[in-house]
Amino acid sequence: MAPFQEVSKQSALHPKPAGLVLHYGTAGFRTNAKLLDHIMFRMGLLATLRSKKTKATIGVMVTASHNPEEDNGVKLVDPMGEMVTPTWEGYATQLANAEQEDLLAALKDVIEKEAINMSQEANVFVGKDTRSSSVSLSEAVLDGVSALGGQSKDYGLVTTPQLHYMICCQNTQGKYGEATVEGYYKKLCQAFIQLTKNASNCTDDQKHLSVDGANGIGAIKVREMESHLKKELHLSLFNDGSTGKLNHQCGADFVKVQQKPPTGMKINSGERCCSFDGDADRIVYYYTDSEGQFHLLDGDKVATLISTFLKELLTQAGLDMEIAVVQTAYANGSSTNYLEDTMKVIVRCTKTGVKHLHHAAKEFDIGVYFEANGHGTVLFSKAAEEKFQQLAEDSNTNDERKRAALLLQNTVNVVNQTVGDAISDMLLIEAILAIKGMTIQQWNSIYKDLPNRQLKVKVSDRRVIDTTDAERRAVSPTGLQEAVDGLVKKYSRARSFVRPSGTEDVVRVYAEAETQESADDLAHEVSLAVYRLAGGVGGEPKPLH
């Protein structure tokens, strides 16, 4: 069969290093860029099969997000712009690990299992981040697509959420928007301008935001977008890639993990700042106060701001809808308490990883999901969107309800519902702050984070730890959860859990408590329990103080 001949021929140009084993992890394949050429070619093949199977356009994004410049990675995007389904993640791993001579057999296995009609057309959209390795790696993806006779469109440099957006636009025949980068800016910026039109007394100070672009694709895209904002938002862009290195001492991950501002950014005390990660699907906000103290507003604070805003609008619009916030075990306990006890919104907890949160958020009329690390978005059900529209167009509606309905409609349009999106989240947050006339300090004081600590423990095999209850409890090894429970009881307002990382060969330990010292001590004691009960390697974890 001709297509397979082409696969054989082309795959010889993208050979797999013998014996190399890689897994499609929480967010696709990710490792040193030098090891990825064959993976990219094969993901081009797999995306083509997925496209034939779903009779829809599929996306392939070449990026390693917040990892260092030397790394790269690849994620597949399903027809509605969501992450590829778990069964196909399994196929991705199989195809990636087939030795060179077994590739055709592995490919035919997927075709057979999924009963794919090979004469069906295929369309694949490809995007890449700013890493130097992304140029040749995205070409390898395109080779994979053409080797199976698929059509491809190369979007070149785009953020990960922009590619997700394109896929959704394409497969909804433009209902979600126009599948171009210009179309994306137009849709989001028009909605932003409509939203902030209502913020009549917004000062120039309030309109100013400093952005750390992590020296990545987000910086390029913010620049491109600026003219569409019609000066309604004044952005000072730092770490724009002109001199600094990608994600090096900057970006959302650095700021969140180090709890300090990025280098390369001029920060005036009290001023609102935000950081994107390397592929612009995460955002965190922060400021330093007049004493020079750093204050981080992470994904939990963002979820609280957005859900509060939406709940108020629903009340003003007189709409009775179910609104929920979806978090993971890493959400600060104060945020969960505030949302449940004060805001009275439904809170759900899922396993770590965007696909789990996204899935859970779909269950509600409005599902706001955010990981503490800053990845998140809002999902609106079709019914909710229709109700907003009906109300906005209803001539019998009073002014207050109509205003709320219009704000809800524009909120829907500023949000990228396909996946967490730093640019879209930034516009929504900025609009909310402007409409509410709220400073970043006021936003920060909605609730006070509980002190917390995260540690890593090296063990010989992290798979010995199995968890349940959205990773909040360990079911194996024997005795570990009992040990954690016993330690937690020693501290006030304390909580702790352990889980194997999905992206690194370590066990992660999280602890929070009333004081930083207690959180640090608890995290250390739990690390010791992991080390002793789950096969720790290297030296015993040392106390932090």
- The DSSP annotation for 441-505 comes to HHHHTTS-PPPEEEEEE-BS-GGG-EEETTTTEEEESTTHHHHHHHHHTTSTT-EEEEEE-SSSS
The distance of closest approach from Cβ of residue 30 to ligand 16G in the complex, given in angstroms and rounded to an integer, is: 8
Select 287 or 369, whichever has its Cβ closest to ligand 16G: 369
Sign of CA dihedral 243, 246, 251, 257: negative
**Residue 281 binds Mg ion (CB under 5 A):** yes
Q: How far is the CB of 269 from ligand 16G (least distance, A)?
A: 31
Least separation, in Å, of the C-beta of 502 and ligand 16G? 3
Examine residue 421 and tell whether it contacts Mg ion (CB under 5 A).
no
The DSSP secondary-structure symbol of 298 reads -
Query: Closest distance between ligand 16G and the C-beta of residue 390, in Å?
Result: 35
Residue 371 binds which entry of Mg ion, ligand 16G, none, with Cβ cut-offs from 5 to 8 Å by kind? ligand 16G
The whole-angstrom distance between residue 338's C-alpha and the CA centroid of its chain comes to: 23
* Spatial CB neighbours of 11, under 8 Å, sequence gap ≥ 6: 38, 41, 42, 100, 103, 147
- 277 makes contact, choosing from Mg ion, ligand 16G, none, with CB < 5 to 8 Å by partner type, with Mg ion
The CA distance from 361 to 348, in Å, is 9
Q: Does 371 bind Mg ion (CB under 5 A)?
A: no
Residue 65 appears among annotated catalytic residues:
yes
Q: Is 24 or 443 the residue whose CB approaches ligand 16G more closely? A: 24
Supply the minimum distance, in Å, between the C-beta of residue 92 and ligand 16G: 14
Query: Which residue stretch of 49-57, 65-73, 177-185, 211-219 sits at the interface with Mg ion (rule: CB under 5 A)?
Result: 65-73
Tokens 């600094």 correspond to what residue? 244
* Type and span of the H or E element at 283: strand 283-288
Which CB atom, from 251 or from 261, has the smaller least distance to Mg ion?
Answer: 251
Q: Which residue has the tokens 């959209």?
A: 125
C-alpha to C-alpha distances, 45 to 137, 147, 191, nearest whole angstrom = 14, 7, 37
Binding to Mg ion, residues 102-121 (CB under 5 A): none
Could you list the residues that contact ligand 16G (CB under 6 A)?
26-27, 352-354, 371, 373, 375, 501-504, 508
Tally: H helices and E strands in the chain: 18, 19
Which structure tokens are listed for 98?
A: 């087939």
Per CB under 5 A, 277 contacts Mg ion: yes
Q: Which residue in 129, 212, 279, 430 binds Mg ion (CB under 5 A)?
A: 279
CB 459 within 8 A of CB 474: no
Sole residue written with tokens 């992590």: 214
Tell me which residue has tokens 């690849």.
74
CB 514 within 8 A of CB 437: no
User: Which entry of Mg ion, ligand 16G, none binds 151, CB below 5 to 8 A by partner kind?
Assistant: none
Report the residue number, 39 or 61, with the smaller CB distance to Mg ion: 61
Q: Is 376 helix (H, G, I), strand (E, B) or coil?
A: strand
Query: Binding partner of residue 57 among Mg ion, ligand 16G, none, CB under 5 to 8 Å per kind?
Result: none
CB of 504 to ligand 16G, least distance (A): 5
Chain residue at closest Cβ approach to Mg ion:
65
Of 65, 138, 152, 335, the active-site residue reads 65
Which active-site residues does the annotation give?
Answer: 65
